[in-house]
Amino acid sequence: MAASSTLSRLNLVRRPSLTYALTTLRALKPRCRQQPRPQWAPLSSSSKSFSAHLSTPKSPNPSSPKAHPKIPGPDDDLLVLGIETSCDDTAAAVVRSSGEILSQVVSSQADLLARYGGVAPKMAEEAHLQVIDKVVQETLDRANVSETDLSAVAVTIGPGLSLCLRGNLSDISLFGVRKARKTAGSFNLPIIGVHHMEAHALVARLIERNLQFPFMALLISGGHNLLVLARDLGQYVQLGTTIDDAIGEAYDKTAKWLGLDMRRSGGPAIEELAHEGDAESIKFSIPMKQHKDCNFSYAGLKTQVRLAIESKHINAEIPISCASRHDRSSRADIAASFQRVAVLHLEERCERAIEWALNIEPSIKHLVVAGGVASNLYVRARLDQVVKKNNLQLVCPPPNLCTDNGVMVAWTGIEHLRMGRFDPPPPADEPEDLVYDLRPRWPLGEEYAEGRSEARSLRRARMHPSLTSIIQASLQQQR
Ligand code: KG4
Ligand code: ZN
């Protein structure tokens, strides 16, 4: 903890790039066990790198290896380790480019969640620090591979945990990034910096191999609510985002105020209790009805819920397991009514977004719904109806690939590696106290101009250029 806050203040230290590098070199050798790995090299000055647009190391490290990284061919067998520490879970996985998941390990912070009623960033930092080495080792062991079998390491570099952003704490992706760079540096592997929300969307392509670009995605998690049009890999149009809280945050707060068991986070607890309640009993109003756009807001609904809880004299100190029958039934009514309106807001925005997206890309056939909240069966069923009405198909990854996981990071790494977007191996002797190029505020795509809303009051300060703009700029440079 102390180390990370020091890091975020030390701007003088050189920053290694965690962006992707586009190389112009050719075919990566297929990876399989016992095969000698190709050597990787720092990019030559003629290579095109995203680093040009962002911070780079001030001087190339002399200890970097000298051979050349190569772009894999479409049929090459790639094996990628993915590491994810951008939120409360510490996760890793090994995935093959065929789509085979060799192993995945998630160390969740269930006890911390229960004790603090949500993610506590400082606690999350400590927890990541304690378990990251074990999680990665167990992932490799379960996959029955060693680091030398890997083609690359992929790691989430942003955007960060919402609480960290609000609390101005350092980004906890740092723990995964340090581990990833150390592994990649020691074993001379290329490294891919992954956008957390892109990973949520792309894992759907691992599950549904027919899912081609362009497609739409609704990404719903604890810190983000995004409606995007995925035109191509690395080319996203943001149709809508949240102007305040994300839906997962509203689920978590509602669960906490209702005295629910937070060990699996608030969402599953609300989903379960809502089955017992009457969803029409409390008439919460649907957010942003007057704004005919695709943005979201959950702060107002949270306030409505809090007022309803106060008016029914529900005491969150009394766990639901100890509540009287009448009290339990009041709590269930609130859970069900909240869930109905929270999801109606999603439905309304999706309807409009589908219309917009089909105007831009009439060939769209799929809506991907992913992120932690997408593991909710009620959410899936309601959105399935919206999608069917519009002659589209819903693609939802299985629940364990909706909540944060290493598979989505490894898979996104594979997708980018295949396109030649990676950084060369970091130096094996990279000092631990470097300041890394993390991206706590990092949009996925450019905002759809016609969808810009007056209700939007997003803080834009300290935002990174979007993933899409970085990739497009790099491609233009290459031409
Ligand atoms: O994607 P995720 O695992 O982490 C972030 O990137 O934030 O999403 C976590 C969020 C939490 O707010 C959690 O309460 C919510 O997903 N969640 C659910 C369900 N399972 C997880 N929300 C509603 N219903 C669920 N079954
Ligand atoms: Zn997530």
Q: Average pLDDT for residues 82-96, to the nearest whole number?
A: 89
Say how far apart CA 231 and CA 52 lie, in whole Å.
24
170 has a pLDDT exceeding 80: no
Which mutation among 258, 265, 341, 396 tests ligand 1's pocket best, with the greatest number of atoms within 8 A of CB? 265
Q: Average pLDDT for residues 193-200, to the nearest whole number?
A: 96
Least trusted range by pLDDT, from 25-34, 118-127, 327-336:
25-34
162: CA distance to ligand 1 center in Å?
A: 13
Q: Average pLDDT for residues 448-477, to the nearest whole number?
A: 76
Least trusted range by pLDDT, from 52-66, 110-124, 258-272:
52-66
Say how far apart CA 216 and CA 227 lie, in whole Å.
7
* Closest residue by CA, ligand 1 atom 8: 372
440 has a pLDDT exceeding 70: yes
Q: Each residue of 39-77: pLDDT tens digit?
A: 333 322 223 333 222 223 333 343 444 344 577 877 889
Residue 29 banded pLDDT, cuts 50, 70, 90: very low
Residue 86 banded pLDDT, cuts 50, 70, 90: confident
103: CA distance to ligand 1 center in Å?
A: 22
Least trusted range by pLDDT, from 108-117, 177-186, 403-412:
108-117
121 ligand 1 Cβ < 6 A? no
Which mutation among 403, 405, 408 tests ligand 1's pocket best, with the greatest number of atoms within 8 A of CB? 403
The encoded tokens of residue 159 equal 């955007």
372 has a pLDDT exceeding 90: yes
For residue 4, what pLDDT is reported?
28
87: CA distance to ligand 2 center in Å?
A: 7
Say how far apart CA 406 and CA 140 lie, in whole Å.
12
64 ligand 1 Cβ < 6 A? no
For residue 302, what pLDDT is reported?
98
Better pLDDT: 368 or 37: 368
Residue 167 banded pLDDT, cuts 50, 70, 90: very low
For residue 151, what pLDDT is reported?
97
Residue 27 banded pLDDT, cuts 50, 70, 90: very low
245: CA distance to ligand 2 center in Å?
A: 14
Q: Which residues of 404-435 are buried (b: 16+ CB within 10 A; e: fewer)?
A: bbbbbbbbbbbbbbbbbbbbbbbbeebeeebb
176: CA distance to ligand 2 center in Å?
A: 15
Better pLDDT: 245 or 14: 245
Q: Which ligand is nearest to the CA of 369?
A: 1
370: CA distance to ligand 1 center in Å?
A: 10
Instruction: With H, G, I as helix, E, B as strand and everything else as coil, classify residue 265.
Output: coil
* Closest residue by CA, ligand 1 atom 16: 372
The encoded tokens of residue 46 equal 């003629």
Reported pTM: 0.86
Residue 450 banded pLDDT, cuts 50, 70, 90: confident
415: CA distance to ligand 2 center in Å?
A: 18
Q: Contact at 8 Å (CB) between 374 and 398? A: no
Q: Which residues of 57-76 are buried (b: 16+ CB within 10 A; e: fewer)?
A: beeeeeebbeebbbbbeeeb
Identify the sign of the CA torsion 283, 287, 291, 294.
negative
420: CA distance to ligand 2 center in Å?
A: 25
427 ligand 1 Cβ < 6 A? no
Q: Average pLDDT for residues 466-470, to the nearest whole number?
A: 92
Residue 444 banded pLDDT, cuts 50, 70, 90: very high
Say how far apart CA 158 and CA 84 lie, in whole Å.
10
375: CA distance to ligand 1 center in Å?
A: 8
277 ligand 1 Cβ < 6 A? no
Q: Average pLDDT for residues 181-207, to the nearest whole number?
A: 97
Please identify, by atom number, the ligand 1 atom nearest to the C-alpha of residue 88. Answer: 4
* Closest residue by CA, ligand 1 atom 14: 267
298 ligand 1 Cβ < 6 A? no
Identify the sign of the CA torsion 257, 259, 265, 271.
negative
* Closest residue by CA, ligand 1 atom 22: 267
The encoded tokens of residue 2 equal 């102390």
8: CA distance to ligand 2 center in Å?
A: 23
For residue 417, what pLDDT is reported?
95
Q: Which ligand is nearest to the CA of 88?
A: 1
| Cα 325 from chain centre | 39
Q: Which ligand is nearest to the CA of 221?
A: 1
Chain-wide mean pLDDT for the chain?
A: 83
The protein residues having their C-beta less than 5 angstroms from ligand 2 (an ion) are 221, 404
Please identify, by atom number, the ligand 1 atom nearest to the C-alpha of residue 222. Answer: 7
222 ligand 1 Cβ < 6 A? yes
Q: Average pLDDT for residues 369-374, to the nearest whole number?
A: 98
405 ligand 1 Cβ < 6 A? no
Q: Contact at 8 Å (CB) between 380 and 346? A: no
